[in-house]
């Protein structure tokens, strides 16, 4: 009796399987997914020693008067999420304390940005809106802000080393990498007329996220970027390999976005070490050069902020040209810039999510620690 014929083994498309697996792993270790995984699988990522609350400092009539300007928006946000009168009283006390701490720790402009961020987050918690929010309650948002302020106040007062700073931070941070790229960040933001905090926060978010999963995420990024670059150099296009490497370099900027920056860079008399990118090969090469990468990333950031920030004192004046040389120094850019960089759709609709929320406070940290005039 002869054995039945063995059915042919289906031919595996190895390249497709490898691409699919790599895509899933990269997604799994992205900064946003890692944030939620930490909460579902093991609590907060950091196990730092508790810090004393941020100092309030001496109250003055001016500070109290400035705080009064923030209360109407906050109370309206509480109305939007329908808190009870008892909760409203307690939340109002927390809000007042938070403003005083923020004003003492960050200064007036950034304190106002903190209050605006809180209002936006609380409004987004309204289930009827179906919007993204970072926290499930106003209390959680206020407590998180106070935790960040305590950390920022401690960092400013003690000036710890980068290792201690990272261990004490509320979320994973990468201060060594930001410090190593300080000169490139300053050069790029000066050339593009920006403040450096937002760009530093983007760098930190991307590099801190790359260390998740025991560094596997960062290793896979480097691997896929290298494969795509070599394919582009050889064939003029990355082809299928480029599907896993749409964003490149230290701040994970899209290579397609790099192609569109030449006009803005020329308008500000900014030159790159290499040519202005006009195709994928030139874009990938430029984004793998730290000097050129930060200039291109800052240019992209400037384009987003010009379209978003209310930098004109007269709301009825003609819109500013996209090639204007105006300086963009609004403290709100510390939230809006990283938000646009990570997810333009969420940023344009005013939503809040962990990447942008944490980036705001990281921007404040680095503006105090690395980019203050005394440094």
Question: Which pLDDT tens digit goes with each residue over 158-195?
Answer: 999 999 999 999 999 999 999 999 999 999 999 999 99
Residue 121 in tokens: 């987050």
| The model scores a pTM over 0.75 | yes
State pLDDT tens for residues 225-246: 666 666 665 666 665 556 656 7
Inform me whether the pLDDT recorded for 3 exceeds 60.
Answer: no
State pLDDT tens for residues 272-289: 999 999 998 999 899 999
3-state SS, 94-150, equals HHHHHHHHHHHHHCHHHHHHHHHHHHHHHHHCCHHHCCCCCCCCHHHHHHHHHHHHH
State pLDDT tens for residues 281-336: 999 899 999 999 999 999 999 999 988 876 554 555 555 666 677 888 899 999 99
Task: Output DSSP code: residue 353.
Answer: -
pLDDT for res 53: 75
What radius of gyration do the chain's Cα atoms show?
23
Task: Check residues 140 and 230 and name the one with the higher pLDDT.
Answer: 140
pLDDT for res 309: 78
* Helix ranges restricted to H, the chain: 14-28, 31-42, 61-80, 85-106, 108-124, 138-158, 162-168, 175-180, 182-191, 197-210, 216-235, 255-259, 262-267, 280-287, 290-308, 333-342, 344-348, 354-369
Average pLDDT over residues 104-109: 94
Percent of the chain at pLDDT > 90 equals 62
Of residues 215, 222, 252, 221, the one with CA closest to residue 359 = 252
Inform me whether the pLDDT recorded for 59 exceeds 80.
Answer: no
Of residues 117, 115, 113, 122, the one with CA closest to residue 77 = 122
Inform me whether the pLDDT recorded for 20 exceeds 70.
Answer: no
């Amino acid at each position: 009796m002869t054995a039945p014929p063995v059915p042919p083994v289906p031919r595996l498309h190895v390249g497709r399987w490898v691409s699919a697996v790599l895509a899933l792993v990269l997604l799994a270790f992205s900064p946003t997914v890692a944030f939620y995984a930490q909460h579902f699988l093991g609590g907060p990522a950091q196990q730092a020693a508790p810090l004393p609350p941020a100092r309030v400092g001496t109250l003055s009539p001016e500070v109290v008067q400035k705080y009064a300007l923030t209360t109407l928006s906050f109370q309206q946000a509480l109305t939007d999420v329908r808190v009870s009168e008892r909760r409203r009283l307690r939340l109002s006390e927390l809000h007042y304390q938070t403003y005083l701490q923020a004003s003492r720790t960050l200064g007036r402009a950034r304190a106002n940005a903190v209050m605006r961020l809180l209002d936006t987050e609380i409004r987004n918690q309204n289930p009827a809106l179906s919007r993204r929010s970072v926290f499930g309650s106003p209390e959680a948002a206020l407590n998180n802000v106070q935790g960040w302020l305590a950390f920022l106040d401690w960092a400013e007062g003690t000036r710890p080393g980068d290792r201690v700073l990272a261990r004490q931070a509320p979320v994973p941070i990468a201060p060594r990498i930001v410090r190593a790229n300080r000169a490139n960040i300053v050069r790029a933001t000066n050339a593009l007329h920006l403040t450096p905090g937002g760009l530093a926060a983007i760098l930190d978010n991307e590099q801190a996220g790359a260390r998740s999963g025991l560094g596997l995420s960062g290793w896979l990024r480097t691997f896929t970027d290298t494969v795509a670059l070599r394919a582009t150099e050889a064939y003029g296009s990355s082809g299928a390999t480029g599907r896993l490497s749409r964003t490149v370099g230290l701040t994970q900027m899209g290579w397609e976005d790099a192609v569109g920056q030449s006009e803005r860079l020329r308008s500000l008399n900014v030159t790159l070490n290499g040519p202005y990118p006009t195709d994928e090969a030139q874009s990938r090469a430029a984004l793998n050069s730290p000097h050129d990468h930060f200039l291109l990333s800052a240019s992209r950031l400037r384009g987003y902020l010009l379209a978003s920030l209310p930098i004109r004192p007269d709301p009825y004046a003609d819109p500013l040209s996209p090639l204007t040389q105006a300086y963009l120094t609004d403290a709100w850019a510390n939230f809006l810039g990283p938000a646009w960089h990570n997810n333009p759709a969420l940023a344009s609709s005013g939503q809040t999510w962990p990447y942008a929320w944490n980036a705001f406070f990281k921007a404040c940290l680095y503006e105090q620690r690395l980019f203050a005039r005394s440094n």
